[in-house]
Structure 1
Amino acid sequence: MDRGQSIPEPLTRDPNTPRAPRPGVIAPVRAVLRLRRRVCLLRKRRLLLPGAGTASAGPDTEFRAPRTGSDQPQFFTFDGPVELSSRAPRKKRRRSRVVLYPETSRKYLPRAERQSRAQRCLLLLVAIVGFQVLNAIENLDDNALRYDLDGLEKALQRAVFGQPAAVGRIVALLRDYLATHVHSRPLLLALHGPSGVGKSHVGRLLARHFRAVLDDSALVLQYHVRHHCPEPRAPQACREELARHVGDVVARAEAEEKTPLLVLDEVEFMPPALLDELHSLVQPQRSHQFHNAIYVLLSSAGGGEITRFVLQNASRVLSAHPGGGRVARAGVAVAQALEELRAGLRAFLTREHPLWKAAAIVPFLLLDKWDVVSCFREEMAGEGFFPEQAQAEQLAAQLSYYHVAGREYAVTGCKQVVAKVNLL
């Protein structure tokens, strides 16, 4: 053959002989195979690790190289495994104990329940009670001002001579009773003393004052036993009449929200039927309208006991005034003596009738000569005469007196003053 002529290829090829790949495809295929083997190897190692292969692992975790052995760090650092193993292990931070709460309770309240409704109701209740207390105090002050007890005390001290202890006790009892609106029983004042010491005069002054402050004369009842219930009249008829008068007064006072005054004079002449009716009127079992009332009983019962007490305790109870008058001592001896007198008088009156058990007893003491002189001057001024001191003493000298421990106590008090002045 010629050199330039090419040798022809055989027409047939052995099938067992592999076909040589093309040079441009071998390198990428080899790279893909190596990556596939690497992925399979990583999968096998991941499956062999404890706790691996859970469902929580995402698709990105399968390409993350597993950390086997203690030389692998649990956090990223630029140090190698040898340097990490040489370091001292970190101390674990001790956690504080967690406060355990019951399962049925909440660790915190919701925002809507942080301010309880019960707390708001409690604050509202406190405000209402405070307002009611303040309003009640103001009402009590208004009630005391309505009856003008200060003016009543000044009027009694100016017009009643020789009875400072009795006047003070009467005003104190009225203040205590009129300081409240609701009462469990009425106020029963029992003024006792011998004739002419000022009991009836105090009753007239009380009636005049209450008529003025209440602006209604129907709320003041003045009952004279010998005038309204004379001797021939039947006691049962007097009893029914007294009950009707008292019922009308207290009903009218209840409608007007006022406290009435009932003055009963000459109680020592009351028949037992009237005393029983009066005793039933002051009982707490009666209706509410009967509780809000003031009864003033004027009586000479026990006058003999008061006279004996004053004569026996003249030096202990009374002292002479430098100007010629008489004043009560402000010491403990006077208070003890008056308390003994009230206790003895109550025991004496209770034996007569049980009405006096519920009464506040106010004893009226004997009047000395200087008190009688003051009565004469007051009456002379009222009748239009000039109240001359010498003339008043001359008139007072005409009366009868008890002479005890250098003092003179009038037997009839100021009972005969009006008759003596009318003779002028």
Structure 2
Amino acid sequence: MDRGETSLEPHAAAPRCKGPCMIAPVRAVLRLRRRVCVLRKRRLLQPGAGADAGSGAARPSGSPGALRPDLHQPKFFTFDGLAELSSRTPRKRRRRSRVVLYPETSRKYRPRGEHRSRAQRCLLLLVAIVGFQILNAIENLDDNAQRYDLDGLEKALQRAVFGQPAAVSHIMTLLRDYLATHVHSRPLLLALHGPSGVGKSHVGRLLARHFRSVLEDDALVLQYHAGHHCPDPRAAQDCREELRRRVADVVSQAEEEEKTPLLVLDEAELLPSAMLDELYGLLQPQLSHHFHNAIYVLLSGAGGAEITHYVLQNASRTLLPRSGDSARSPQAPAEEELRSRLQTLLVQEHPLWQAAAIVPFLLLDKPDVVNCFREEMAGEGFFPEQALAERLAEQLSYYHVAGHEFATTGCKQVVAKVNVLQHRSAHTGY
């Protein structure tokens, strides 16, 4: 036995497994692994083994340390030395193919499957048509509002109604929003509330006069006075049927002419419950569409005591903007608070006021009463002298609170005072 064989015997014997867990395949794998490790260590430790392996020369079989090729050269495992591993040339990486670009001089065509279909063109045409219809509708809204000359109405109200700039501004805002289109889901109900003499009936007359002028048809403006048209409360059912018939005639004619009618009901606090029920039924969306296109203006003294109490209680601060002030001033929350309190009070009497836009009219200050005298004097042919108007205003009674003088009856007695002045001048030759 040569040197290589004598050196393998002590290490080739694998320890026997004493436990029952080891089986034959596992012992074979362990034995093979140990033998491979021993061969690898022997080959690396022998001097000149790496050089001989690199040059391909084999030792003679009789030289010491030479291994027989059939026993010591593995057929299925190769062990490269450190020199061989370092002398190997690195594998070249495969270069990725470059992106194919079109020449600059050639024409580029889309693939046939990516051409735009006709459906996309139809969609673009549809979008253009819808946009044109929307633009046309916006222009029609402006044209519909211009028919009623709301700018002229606002100027007339600001010039003729004294001490109520916030109420006038709120009325015009509601009218502009409603008259912007001819098609509506329900009528517009304006409820003007306030004590006597603050200008509610005057505003109702100005609205009726303006709408008669712009609509060019007196039949499209209905003025209903509760004390005149239905003086007997016992005939409430007959008044109810008459009111429904007159309203139906007005809205039917207005629908034929494609116009918005105006219906003014003065002294609404005198209307019996049956007529309030009828008005509430006219506001419901279940009725025919021509009933939805109408403007109702209710002039009522209901809630006048609440407004008077609120104004006197908050007289230390300016509740609402006066003439020349901004419509949306810091006092706007006070106005909203007054509307909310007033509506809560009125809803307890009838649910009609829940659907109404409440517009409170405040007490008039003394300078506003003086302006009322001057306006009435000019209308009766007198020179509107400031000193004379102030002397006439001194004859009225006022609430004196926090430096303000609020007229208890507003401008209610202005017409009577001016008539007395006219009668005296006729006898004295003034």
TM > 0.5 between the two?
Answer: yes
1:109 maps onto 2:112 in alignment: yes
Q: Which residue in the other structure is 1:37 paired with?
A: none
2:136 maps to: 135
User: C-alpha separation between the residues in 2 aligned to 1:298 and 1:379?
Assistant: 22
Moved more, 369-378 or 327-336: 327-336
Equivalent position SS for 1:317: coil
* Distance apart, 1:315 and its partner CA: 1.7
CA contact (8 A) 2:182 2:259 kept: no
The aligned residue for residue 383 of structure 1 is 380
Q: Aligned partners of 2:142 and 2:317: how far apart in 1?
A: 39
In 1, are the aligned partners of 2:182 and 2:260 still within 8 Å (CA)? no
The DSSP-based 3-state class of the residue aligned with 2:296 is strand
Once the two structures are superposed, what CA deviation does each residue of 1:21-74 show, in whole Å capped at 9, x if it has no partner? xxxxxxxxxxxxxxxxxxxxxxxxxxxxxxxxxxxxxxxxxxxxxxxxxxxxxx
Q: 2:279 matched to which residue of 1? A: 278
Q: Note the C-alpha offset of 1:243.
A: 0.4
* CA shift digits 1:290-339 (9 cap, x unpaired): 11111000000000000000000012125998xxxx77676754111111
Residue 122 of structure 2 corresponds to residue 121 of structure 1: yes
1:366 to 354, 363, 367: 363
1:181 positional shift: 2.5
Cα deviation code 1:83-124 (max 9, x no counterpart): xxxxxxxxx9987899xxxxxxxx9437xx934221121122
Q: Distance in 2 between matches of 1:402 and 1:303?
A: 15
Q: Mind listing any 5+ residue stretches in structure 2 that lack a counterpart?
A: 1-93, 101-109, 422-430
Q: Does 1:311 align with 2:312?
A: yes
In structure 2, the residue matched to 1:10 is: none
- Alignment partners' CA distance in 2, 1:240 and 1:401: 43
Q: Partner of 1:231 in structure 2?
A: 232
Corresponding position of 2:399: 402
Aligned counterparts, 1:22-421, within 5 A = 108-109=111-112, 114-231=115-232, 234-318=235-319, 333-421=330-418
Aligned to 1:79: none
User: In structure 1, what is the Cα distance between the partners aligned to 2:396 and 2:182?
Assistant: 47
- 1:161 partner amino acid: F
Distance 1:130 1:296, change over 3 A: same
The match for 1:31 is none
Aligned pair in 2 of structure 1 residues 408, 328: CA closer, same or farther (>3 Å)? farther
| Residues 400 and 327 (structure 1), Cα distance of their counterparts in 2 relative to 1, 3 Å cut | farther
3-state DSSP of counterpart to 1:263:
strand
What SS class does the counterpart of residue 264 from structure 1 fall into?
strand
Structure 2 distance, partners of 1:169, 1:265, is 19
Q: Which stretches in structure 1 are left out of the alignment for 5+ residues?
A: 1-91, 99-106
- Which stretch of the first structure deviates more once superposed, 334-343 or 356-365? 334-343
> Structure 1 residues 232, 343: closer, same or farther in 2, change over 3 A?
closer
Match of 1:104 in 2: none
Note the alpha carbon deviations across 1:118-173, whole angstroms, 9 max, x for none. 11211221121111111101101101111111111100000000000000000001
Match of 1:45 in 2: none
How far off is 1:373 after superposition?
0.5
What is the one-letter code of the residue matched to 1:364? F
Question: Secondary structure, in 3 states, of the residue corresponding to 2:317?
Answer: helix
Distance 1:94 1:279, change over 3 A: closer
Q: Which amino acid aligns with 1:299?
A: S
Distance in 1, matches of 2:287 and 2:313, equals 42
What is the distance in 2 between the residues matched to 1:183 and 1:331? Answer: 27
Q: 8 Å contact 1:192–1:300 — kept in the other structure?
A: yes
SS at match of 1:352: coil
- Report which stretch shifted further, 332-341 or 220-229: 332-341
Closer/same/farther in 2, CA of residues 93 and 412 from structure 1, 3 Å limit: closer
Indicate conservation of the 8 Å contact 1:211/1:220, yes or no. yes
Tell me how far apart the structure 2 counterparts of residues 319 and 400 of structure 1 sit (CA, whole Å): 23
How many residues are matched? Answer: 319
Among all aligned residue pairs of Structure 1 and Structure 2, give the percentage whose two residues are the same amino acid.
76
User: Residues 317 and 328 of structure 1 are in contact (CA less than 8 Å); yes or no, is this contact kept in structure 2?
Assistant: no
| 8 Å Cα contact 1:318/1:328 also seen in 2 | no
Mapped to 2, the partners of 1:114 and 1:333 lie a distance apart of 61
Q: Residue 337 of structure 1: SS of its match in structure 2?
A: helix
Quote the Cα distance in structure 2 between the aligned partners of 1:282 and 1:194.
26
The 1:353–1:232 alpha-carbon spacing in structure 2 relative to 1, beyond 3 Å, is closer
TM-score of the two chains, using structure 2 as the length reference: 0.71
Please give the root-mean-square deviation of Cα atoms over the aligned residues, in Å: 2.3
